[in-house]
Amino acid sequence: MAKATKTWKIGEACRGGIITVEITGKIITVIGKEWDTSAGYSRGSNQSNAKEWTRGTGQANDANVETKLFMFLTELTTAYYASQIIDWIKSKVKFEVTSW
């Protein structure tokens, strides 16, 4: 089962400042985290202890997964960053859209 994880330290353009995406097989999880200011304010700071405050999950074989993830991401950050994150997700897992 394929597993991939990536964290974006977006800062002020993101509610909480950090978005982590975890992909395990066909399960895609988007996690919003609060910036850990005790570790510093720069993007190079260690944010491994950042606290989770929201989470959204989708499955690659859900016909609307791309739209659902994009809508969830735009609640956390700008459309630009949401698109960047969706592009990364699509590079790691194939969305299986079922046709009628």
Average pLDDT, the chain: 92
Residue 100 lies in a domain: no
99 pLDDT tier (thresholds 50, 70, 90): low
Q: Where are the beta strands (DSSP E) in 1-100?
A: 3-9, 17-24, 27-34, 51-59
Cα–Cα dist 6/69, whole Å: 15
| Number of domains the chain is built from | 1
pLDDT digits (tens, 9 = 90+) for 20-57: 999 999 999 999 999 999 998 888 899 889 999 999 99
Contact status, residue 56 vs residue 22, Cβ threshold 8 Å: no
Domain carrying residue 40:
3-92
Residues of the chain with pLDDT > 70, as a percent, come to 95
Q: Is residue 23 part of a domain?
A: yes
* pTM for this entry: 0.90
User: How high is the pLDDT of residue 42?
Assistant: 87
Any domain includes 61: yes
Q: Taking the alpha carbons of 6, 11, 13, 18 in that order, is the dihedral positive or negative?
A: positive
Q: Does residue 98 lie within any of the structural domains?
A: no
Would residue 99 count as lying in a domain? no
Question: Is residue 54 assigned to a domain?
Answer: yes
